[in-house]
Amino acid sequence: MARTGLYQSEVKKARDALIAQGKHPSVDAVRVALGNTGSKTTIHKYLKELEEQDGGAAGRKASITEALHDLVARLAAQLHDEGNARVLEVEALSLEKDRVHAAALDALRSDIEALSGRLERAQAAAERESAAHAETRANLQHETIARHTSEQQVADLKERLIENDVHRLSLEEKHKHAREALEHYRQSVKEQREQDQRRHEQQIQQLQAELRQLQQSLVVKQDDITRLNQEGARLVADLSHSQKALYEEQAQGRRFAQQLATLRDAAQQAEILAVRLAGKEEQMLTLQKQVCTATARADGFSDTVRELELALTAAKASLAAQQEVVTEVRAFLDAREGPAQTPAGEPHTGIQVASAGT
């Protein structure tokens, strides 16, 4: 770039150096002598002022060659100014296009960031759904294990119930036999008692008859009375033995009654086990319903995961397409950047070449 703050003394020093070397102090020559710095318009103005100071007021006439060089220099300066104006216009247009492209690039970047955010949210949602699906699968496995455990418990309870039923039937059969034996014993005891009572009545009748006979023949039948007394003692002993046997039968009857109460308790326990079994069956039905519900939820989660995977694939395709557009825009911007410059850093317009040729 041309430096700022060019002074007239510097232009005069460069002009005098060119004149001392035998060269024409044109605008381009002076600018080259100044190190390719300074505006050509400013240099031309300073050269004109120096010419007026040196001899323009005294009436020195310039040669035709100098007039032509001066005209060419002014034309070159004017062309340079117009070129600079055109360059500035082109640069402004290029900056405007760059701004539009930068805005478009920012918009694309915003879209890419938004799509990236949506992609991340979709991935996070997919991960959450996967975690929920894994948790549901674990719950389903747990419920399946619990169902198998419940089924095993139900099978065990059924086996125990069957065993209890068999035991109960056996106890009922034993109880039935005991009742029949007790009834048979009672019947036999009753018959024996009736027989004893009839026999005893018969014996009393016989004793009364014999007593009447003995009373009639007391003196004659003393031996018979003694024999009858002995027979009465034997009958008393038999009666005592019969009462003892009756007491033993009553004790055995009480034991049978206790066994009957035990059988009733066993029957009540069997009823309780049946109620518990019904409850277990209801729990098993509830668990089966929960397993069906969990299976339906797992199927719903699978559909949601598939939809999210399709959305993720579409988002990736859209992102790849937009990245290709961004790459093309960047390539276009890179091709537009970096215009050609002169070794000193100023834009090359082609006007300097024409001036140097002149």
In the structure, what pLDDT confidence band is assigned to residue 337 with cuts at 50, 70 and 90? Answer: low
pLDDT for 276 beyond 70: yes
Please give the pLDDT value at position 305: 67
Q: Write the CB contacts of 304 (distance below 8 Å, at least 6 apart in sequence).
A: 129
Residue with tokens 């323009």: 56
**How far apart, in Å, do the first and last CA atoms of the chain sit?**
24
In the structure, what pLDDT confidence band is assigned to residue 145 with cuts at 50, 70 and 90? Answer: very high
Residue type at 110 in one-letter notation:
S
pLDDT for 352 beyond 70: no
In the structure, what pLDDT confidence band is assigned to residue 57 with cuts at 50, 70 and 90? Answer: very low
Let me know if residue 326 belongs to a domain.
Answer: no
Let me know if residue 350 belongs to a domain.
Answer: no
Let me know if residue 219 belongs to a domain.
Answer: yes
Using alpha carbons, select from 38, 29, 93, 76 the residue that is nearest to residue 339. 93
Q: Of the ranges 152-161, 224-233, 282-291, which is most confident?
A: 152-161
The count of structural domains within the chain is: 1
Using alpha carbons, select from 350, 337, 355 the residue that is nearest to residue 87. 350
Q: What is the DSSP letter of 341?
A: B
pLDDT for 203 beyond 60: yes
Domain residues for the domain of 250 are 154-305
Let me know if residue 319 belongs to a domain.
Answer: no
pLDDT for 95 beyond 70: yes
pTM, full prediction: 0.24
Q: Write the CB contacts of 43 (distance below 8 Å, at least 6 apart in sequence).
A: 6, 11, 27, 30, 31, 34, 77
Let me know if residue 218 belongs to a domain.
Answer: yes
Let me know if residue 181 belongs to a domain.
Answer: yes
Let me know if residue 9 belongs to a domain.
Answer: no
Overall average pLDDT of the 220-246 stretch: 74
pLDDT for 241 beyond 50: yes
Let me know if residue 38 belongs to a domain.
Answer: no
Mean per-residue pLDDT over the chain, rounded: 77
Taking the CA atoms of the chain, what radius of gyration do you get in angstroms? 68
Torsion of CA 68, 74, 76, 80, to 10 degrees: 180
Q: State the alpha helices, DSSP H only, in the chain.
A: 8-20, 27-33, 40-51, 64-216, 222-336, 351-357
pLDDT for 317 beyond 50: yes
* pLDDT greater at residue 192 or residue 210: 192
Q: Is 46 exposed, middle or buried (0-12, 13-18, 19+ CB in 10 A)?
A: buried
